[in-house]
Amino acid sequence: MSNKPPHPETISAQALGQGDVPSGGLVQAIHVATTYERDADNQYPNGLIYGRPHNPTTRLAENVVAALEGGAGALAFASGMAAAVAVFENLTNGDHVIAPKVMYWALRDWLAVRLVARGVKVSFVDMSDPAALEAVLAKGSTKIVWIETPANPLWTITDIARVANKAHGAGAILVVDSTVATPVFTNPLALGADIVMHSATKYLNGHSDVLAGILVTREADEIWEKISSARASGGAILGPQQAALLVRGMRTLHLRVRSASEAALKIAAHFEGHPNIVEVLYPGLENHPGHDIAVRQMQGGFGAMLSLRIKGGAAAAIQVAANVKIWKRATSLGGVESLIEHRASMEGPSTPVPEDLLRLSVGVEHVEDLIGDLQQALAADA
Ligand SMILES: *Cc1c(COP(=O)(O)O)cnc(C)c1O
């Protein structure tokens, strides 16, 4: 037998290769118990006490993602937002956070409204500009630098290693929202990030039927202990039924993500220069401002998210979305079915997103069907 560690494809396809120990089943049973029995000597024989801190099915989902990200531990939450918010839970009045100017909208809003209301200062900067980050990093008070790469919905690329260096120099930790890159294309912990966050609702589960979030840490340090105890006391743990669906979804992670990413590159290349399109935003295109960093940082693909800016503004963009027959008009991303969304309508009047922008999440349908449908939708609008 080879002593080489298994490849990521093998880890996810077999969910770490651990079947159900009592039955010999290839798939682990779902552990639904909310409480565990003490021995007569008053001890807990397996270290499992109660369902809010502990669930073996949830633990399996966490272990799979920790292995894919090369982390020391992982925690699963009831949603991506619950996971993201848990990172900021231990900050107090006077602490400082730096986040990207354009990023996943719901978290940007939470930082700007709810975190600020707790007395935490938040600076939103252009993460692709090294000088902008340095100008706001405050040694001692900056506790967390948060980045997202590729970032919603312009697919801006941030250099993880460079930002990690800067953050650590100021005594801050770097947390990366790697939902769009997925562990298939990027391992932020290996590039110097301290914590990686995934909305597992998206590619990790991949079937638009589970809401879940995951944090993975590089080290089981004091900050991680605090986040873990905050989840145990706050109760935002992912439930076992959802965790089992998530593990099932992750068994095909690499197949789905690679297929969707290859299709996204074809779609982006196909519609570049289309007479009804102002701009195609996709990091796999050579003219994308983050392309060179993406080539270095993302291995084997650029992800399956792209945006199209439509000639004629908001009304024309909404009309193109109205014309599609195969793409689904819906928010979210990372499922097997392709989605199209007029992003500014979702984010409201204070959005930094161009009003002519359609956000596309490419699924695993045949790429010719997806291209043909967009082509007829754009032509009908002309
Ligand atoms: C969806 C998403 C989130 C939030 O996750 P939920 O599971 O919807 O709570 C955070 N970041 C990114 C990039 C996302 O796409």
Q: Please indicate, yes or no, whether residues 191 and 220 belong to a single structural domain of this protein.
A: yes
Q: What is the per-residue DSSP string for 178-210?
A: -TTTHHHH--GGGGT-SEEEEETTTTTT-SS--
86 C-alpha to center of ligand 1: Å?
A: 14
Distance CA 278, CA 212 (A): 35
Q: Please indicate, yes or no, whether residues 193 and 337 belong to a single structural domain of this protein.
A: no
Residue 44: active-site member: no
80 C-alpha to center of ligand 1: Å?
A: 5
Q: Please indicate, yes or no, whether residues 175 and 273 belong to a single structural domain of this protein.
A: no
Q: What is the mean pLDDT of residues 314-325?
A: 97
Residue ID of nearest Cα to ligand 1 atom 7 = 80
Q: Please indicate, yes or no, whether residues 153 and 262 belong to a single structural domain of this protein.
A: no
Q: Judge whether 1 lies within some domain.
A: no
Domain boundary (250, 275, 294) is at 250
Please name the residues in contact with 370: beta carbons below 8 A apart, sequence gap of 6 or more. 263, 267, 326, 327, 338, 362
Residue 296: active-site member: no
pLDDT digits (tens, 9 = 90+) for 329-369: 999 999 999 999 999 998 888 788 999 999 999 999 999 99
Q: Judge whether 3 lies within some domain.
A: no
Instruction: CATH number of the domain at 358, please.
Output: 3.90.1150.10
85 C-alpha to center of ligand 1: Å?
A: 11
pLDDT of residue 328: 98
Q: Please indicate, yes or no, whether residues 179 and 292 belong to a single structural domain of this protein.
A: no
Which of 177, 194, 356, 381 is labelled catalytic? 177
Q: Judge whether 272 lies within some domain.
A: yes
Q: What is the mean pLDDT of residues 317-321?
A: 97
pLDDT of residue 349: 84
Please name the residues in contact with 304: beta carbons below 8 A apart, sequence gap of 6 or more. 203, 257, 260, 261, 263, 264, 334, 361, 362, 363
pLDDT beyond 60 at 382: no
Q: Please indicate, yes or no, whether residues 55 and 178 belong to a single structural domain of this protein.
A: yes
- Phi, psi of 68, rounded to the nearest 5 degrees: -65, -30
Domain count, the chain: 2
The SS3 assignment for 273 reads: coil
Q: What is the mean pLDDT of residues 131-155?
A: 96
Q: What is the per-residue DSSP string for 109-131?
A: HHIIIIIHHTT-EEEEE-TT-HH
Q: Judge whether 162 lies within some domain.
A: yes
Q: What is the per-residue DSSP string for 338-368?
A: -EEEEHHHHH-TT--S-TTEEEEE--SS-HH
Q: Please indicate, yes or no, whether residues 106 and 179 belong to a single structural domain of this protein.
A: yes
Which residue range(s) make up the domain with 330? 253-381
Type of residue found at 41: D
Angstrom CA distances, 102 to 79, 170, 221, 379, stand at 21, 23, 30, 30
pLDDT digits (tens, 9 = 90+) for 219-262: 999 999 999 999 999 999 999 999 999 999 999 999 999 999 99
Instruction: CATH number of the domain at 97, please.
Output: 3.40.640.10
CB 203 within 8 A of CB 301: no
312 vs 346 pLDDT, higher one: 312
How high does pLDDT run on average in the chain? Answer: 96
Q: Please indicate, yes or no, whether residues 76 and 108 belong to a single structural domain of this protein.
A: yes
277 vs 380 pLDDT, higher one: 277
> Closest ligand 1 atom, CA of 148?
13
pLDDT digits (tens, 9 = 90+) for 25-43: 999 999 999 999 999 999 9
The answer to whether the CB of 83 is under 6 A from ligand 1 is no
CB 174 within 8 A of CB 165: no
Band of pLDDT at residue 380, cut at 50, 70 and 90: confident
The answer to whether the CB of 79 is under 6 A from ligand 1 is yes
Domain boundary (250, 270, 298) is at 250
Domain boundary (250, 284, 318) is at 250
Residue 50: active-site member: no
The answer to whether the CB of 211 is under 6 A from ligand 1 is yes
Return the DSSP state at 35. B
Distance CA 123, CA 95 (A): 11
Please name the residues in contact with 148: beta carbons below 8 A apart, sequence gap of 6 or more. 100, 103, 104, 158, 176, 177, 179, 180
79 C-alpha to center of ligand 1: Å?
A: 8
Q: Judge whether 2 lies within some domain.
A: no
Q: Please indicate, yes or no, whether residues 212 and 314 belong to a single structural domain of this protein.
A: no
Q: Please indicate, yes or no, whether residues 14 and 148 belong to a single structural domain of this protein.
A: yes
Residue 104: active-site member: yes
Of the candidates 264, 269, 281, the one whose C-alpha atom is nearest the C-alpha of residue 334 is: 264
Q: Judge whether 12 lies within some domain.
A: yes
Q: Please indicate, yes or no, whether residues 148 and 100 belong to a single structural domain of this protein.
A: yes
The answer to whether the CB of 210 is under 6 A from ligand 1 is no
Q: Please indicate, yes or no, whether residues 244 and 293 belong to a single structural domain of this protein.
A: no
pLDDT of residue 381: 47
> Closest ligand 1 atom, CA of 107?
10
Q: Judge whether 55 lies within some domain.
A: yes
Q: Judge whether 91 lies within some domain.
A: yes
